[in-house]
Amino acid sequence: MPALMGARLKKGDIMKKKTALVTGASSGIGAVFARELAREGYTVTCVARSQDKLQGLVKELGSGHRILVADLADSIQLQTVAADVESSGYSLLVNNAGYGIYGRFEEVSFERQEHLMTVNMNALVRLSHAFLKKAASGDALINVSSTLSLLTYPGGAVYAATKAFVTTFTESLWYENKDRGVYVMALLPGLTDTNFNAVAAAGRPVPAQTMRSYPPKVVVKKAMAALKAGKAPSIISGPLYRFLTFLNTRLMSRKKMITIMGKGSSGLRK
């Protein structure tokens, strides 16, 4: 069962403070989001599976912040997090939890791919629903997707498909909620300096990156600027990936783009 630790929010405090919940907060982009939001004056609830990492992060953030230890692939634990989102009245939800799997589709067990879909899509939709039911004008939702959501990825077919879902889903929510003053945004990072490749490789040799990778701070800085502007339904972080996405989706055929992505895929390298 999930474990919730730290200072609990009081109803009266919600009107006075900026509050945020960040999933996948134990490392990478999620941890940087938590740090940046704390610097911006948010009281942050950090969600992930690793209690030790979360406790270390919250200790770094200072007093008043909370942790919620939960595996979002577990329906009961996910429901506990959703209930916390509904009851705590957060002004910002960052759905960052997610991961990838490298390999040919038929060579990866269905169970692993089903777990991936549960974390990347089902949990994100459940928490988005819990948040938007209670969101008020001025609140915001950030769903972390990927530049691959606009492309394709042989060797990571299910991962890319889940992120295509996240982007399309989130952009639709942007339109549905803009007139009531609730900002919804999809964040589309390119390659980022995290442990994503190691997790996706799952014991296979991690291929050397042939494209530029950006620090998580660059990704989060772009997201925070977009959050303050409150206009774009989706943003791509990293100048290189904005250019490459434009090039691949606007200036070449779909077949050509898929072929290029397949030939360069880390998921198909031996």
Confidence band of 172 (pLDDT split at 50, 70, 90)? very high
SS (H, E, C) 178-204: HCCCCEEEEEEECCECCCHHHHHHCCC
Nearest to residue 1, comparing CAs of 49, 44, 57?
A: 49
Whole-angstrom distance, CA of residue 195 vs CA of residue 33: 16
Structure-token match 């434009």, residue found: 246
Q: Which residues contact 267 (CB under 8 A, 6 or more apart)?
A: 101, 102, 103, 104, 153, 154, 155, 156, 200
- Main-chain phi, psi angles of 102, to 5 degrees: -95, 145
Q: Is the pTM of this model over 0.75?
A: yes
State residue 100 phi and psi, 5-degree precision.
Answer: -125, 170
CA distance 185 to 183: 7
Q: Of residues 17 and 61, which shows the higher confidence score?
A: 61
270: confidence class by pLDDT, cuts 50, 70, 90: low
Q: What is the pLDDT of residue 153?
A: 87
Which pLDDT score, from 0 to 100, does residue 190 have? 80
Q: Is the pLDDT of residue 195 over 70?
A: no
Largest CA distance in the chain: 57
Q: Which two tokens stand for residue 114?
A: 């089903």
* Domain limits, the chain: 3-268
pLDDT at 5 over 60: no
- Tens digit of each residue's pLDDT (9 = 90 or more) over 31-83: 999 999 999 999 999 999 999 999 999 999 999 999 999 999 999 999 999 99
In this prediction, residue 243 has a pLDDT band, given cuts at 50, 70 and 90, of low
Q: What is the CA radius of gyration of the chain?
A: 18
Which of these CATH numbers, 3.40.190.10, 3.40.50.720, 3.40.50.360, 2.40.50.660, describes 3-268? 3.40.50.720
133 vs 216: which has the higher pLDDT = 133
pLDDT at 129 over 90: yes
Nearest alpha carbon to residue 20 among 223, 173, 212: 223
**Terminus-to-terminus CA distance in the chain, angstroms?**
39
Percent over 90 (pLDDT), the chain:
68
Buried b (16+ CB within 10 A) or exposed e, 9-45: beeeebeeebbbbbbbbbbbbbbbbbbbbbeeebbbb
User: What's the mean pLDDT in 151-163?
Assistant: 93
